[in-house]
A = this chain, B = another copy of it.
Amino acid sequence: MILQERLDIELPIIQAPMAGVQDSTLAIAVSKAGGLGSLPCAMLNKDDLLRELATLHAQTNKPFNLNFFCHTPPPPQPEQEAAWRKVLTPYYQEFGLDINAIVKGLERRPFSTETADLIEAFKPAVVSFHFGLPEKRLLARVKSWGSKIIASATTVEEALFLEAAGVDAIIAQGLEAGGHRGNFLSDDLDKQLGTFALIPQIVKAVKLPVIAAGGIVDTKTVAAAMALGAAGVQAGTAYLLCPESTTSALHRAALTKDSARHTTLTNIFSGRAARGIVNRAISELGPINPSAPVFPLASTAIASLRTAAEKQGRANFSPLWCGQNASGCKETSAAELTRSLTAGL
Q: Using a CB–CB distance below 8 Å, which chain A residues touch chain B?
A: 155-156, 174-176, 190-191, 193-198, 200-201, 204, 214-215, 217-218, 220-221, 223-225, 227-229, 261-265, 278, 287, 323-325, 327
17 A-B residue pairs with Cβ-Cβ distance under 8 Å, sorted by A, are A155-B261, A176-B193, A176-B194, A194-B196, A195-B197, A196-B214, A196-B215, A196-B221, A197-B324, A197-B325, A198-B324, A200-B217, A200-B218, A200-B220, A221-B227, A223-B227, A224-B228
Residue from B229, B278, B327 in contact with A204 in the complex, judged by beta carbons closer than 8 Å = B327
Alpha-carbon separation in the docked complex, A245 to B44 (Å): 56
Q: How many copies does the complex hold?
A: 2
Asked whether B194 lies within 8 Å of A194 as measured between CB atoms, the reply is yes
Least Cβ–Cβ distance between A229 and chain B, in angstroms: 6
Asked whether B195 lies within 8 Å of A262 as measured between CB atoms, the reply is no
A194 partner residues in chain B, CB cutoff 8 A: 174-176, 194-196, 214-215, 324
Residue from B174, B191, B201, B265 in contact with A196 in the complex, judged by beta carbons closer than 8 Å = B174
**Residue among A190, A221, A224, A325 having the largest count of chain B Cβ atoms under 10 Å:** A224
A215 partner residues in chain B, CB cutoff 8 A: 194, 196-197, 200
A261 partner residues in chain B, CB cutoff 8 A: 155-156, 191, 193, 201
Asked whether B214 lies within 8 Å of A220 as measured between CB atoms, the reply is no
Asked whether A201 lies within 8 Å of B155 as measured between CB atoms, the reply is no
A190 partner residues in chain B, CB cutoff 8 A: 262-265, 278, 287
Which residue of the partner chain B has the closest CB to A194? B194
Alpha-carbon separation in the docked complex, A261 to B204 (Å): 13
A227 partner residues in chain B, CB cutoff 8 A: 220-221, 223-224, 227
Asked whether A197 lies within 8 Å of B223 as measured between CB atoms, the reply is no
Which residue of the partner chain B has the closest CB to A323? B197
